Amino acid sequence: MEEKRDVILTEVALRDGSHAIRHQFTVEQVTQVAKGLDEANVPYIEVSHGDGLGGSSLQYGFSRTNEMELIEAAAATVKQAKISVLLIPGIGTKQELKHAAQLGAKMVRVATHVTEADVAPQHIALAKDLGLETVGFLMMSHMAPTEKLVEQAKLMESYGADSVYVVDSAGTLLPHEVKERIRALRQSLSIDIGFHAHNNLSLAVANSITAIEEGARRIDGSIRCLGAGAGNTQTEVLVAVLDRLGIQTGVDLYKMMDVAEEIVAPILEKPQEITKDGLVLGYAGVYSSFLLHAQAAARKFGIDSRDILVELGKMKVVGGQEDMILDVAAELAKKLQTAGL
């Protein structure tokens, strides 16, 4: 008999966390983390390049290990957890999704910009044909008014998605904004609602709780806060808070603490914390995975990475426009040089 879970967690450290370590995961690391998460009774574990299937590239960052090897290793390791993958149409292809399913993936999150759900129907249809649990993942959800978000979520539902996520890719949403969005979706859709947070304004746990209070049943977390920008909702912290609230996740808190401390912490190049750049991501509403790219551009051109991020925020750049980072940095450096600063 399946254990009752009031909230269903998806652990994203082996996908979103890839951004934080420049996509350098090894098979051994993925195997150890997946084993620990599985033993802690985490129901879903996402494994992919940070930018999803097919993300290993010059623009997004090359993976140390082919992601298909990582997916296969994770799927072979787990006993009760289901392996999930992320697919962004235009980066990942239907062929890669088929391959991931053959290797043991059981769920796919088809991710689009919040106003571009209409690029996803063929990928969602294929996922359903492959027998995969299928999620609509509306990234940068702060960039559309609630009415538009509802419209796009309903499109995802009409294509066959089993659930739809509000994705705070920039970690910029405030609790009342999360409340408004989740409530509107809950009133408009008949499928499960999910929420994916980033911690750039130190609101990931609070926003996740707000989402749950408004009816979200699917919540993302990242153990040890391992994710893009300042990281995601820290899974072990969220599990502890939900336990205190009497909300069941089915996840073993002590085991999660141990995995965080003993297995995941040594993988981090540095502790996940809200640095000045991470804070600016949330403040300016910039895609969290831009962080390391902006820092590299700042070093190259000898300028302040915060200036790059603020300018990107003014331009309302979205995921997939990483090439703009170097352009913005070069232009800012030129202006400073002209001004004699």
**Predicted local confidence at residue 341, as pLDDT:** 56
User: pLDDT tier at 323 (50, 70, 90 boundaries)?
Assistant: confident
pLDDT at 108 over 60: yes
Nearest to 9 by CA among 220, 233, 154: 220
Catalytic residue list:
19
Which residues belong to CATH 3.20.20.70 in the chain?
A: 8-267
3-state secondary structure of 157: helix
Containing 123, the helix (H) or strand (E) segment is helix 121-129
CATH fold of 8-267: TIM Barrel (3.20.20)
The answer to whether 15 is a known ligand-binding residue is yes
For 300-318, the pLDDT digits (tens) are: 999 999 999 999 989 888 8
For 137-195, the pLDDT digits (tens) are: 999 999 999 999 999 999 999 999 999 999 999 999 999 999 999 999 999 999 999 99
User: pLDDT tier at 1 (50, 70, 90 boundaries)?
Assistant: very low
* Sign of the four-CA dihedral 311, 270, 29, 3: negative
The CATH architecture one would assign to domain 276-339 is Orthogonal Bundle (1.10)
**Predicted local confidence at residue 320, as pLDDT:** 73
pLDDT at 337 over 90: no
**Predicted local confidence at residue 338, as pLDDT:** 82
The answer to whether 198 is a known ligand-binding residue is yes
Q: At what angle do helices 276-284 and 291-301 cross, to 10 degrees?
A: 110
The answer to whether 16 is a known ligand-binding residue is yes
Which residues belong to CATH 1.10.8.60 in the chain?
A: 276-339
Find all residues with CB under 8 Å of 268, minimum gap 6, and list them: 20, 21, 224, 226
The answer to whether 192 is a known ligand-binding residue is no
Angstrom distance (rounded) from CA 226 to CA 329: 27
For 199-258, the pLDDT digits (tens) are: 999 999 999 999 999 999 999 999 999 999 999 999 999 999 999 999 999 999 999 999
Angstrom distance (rounded) from CA 198 to CA 193: 17
Cα separations (Å) of 32 from 18, 26, 78, 263? 15, 10, 10, 7
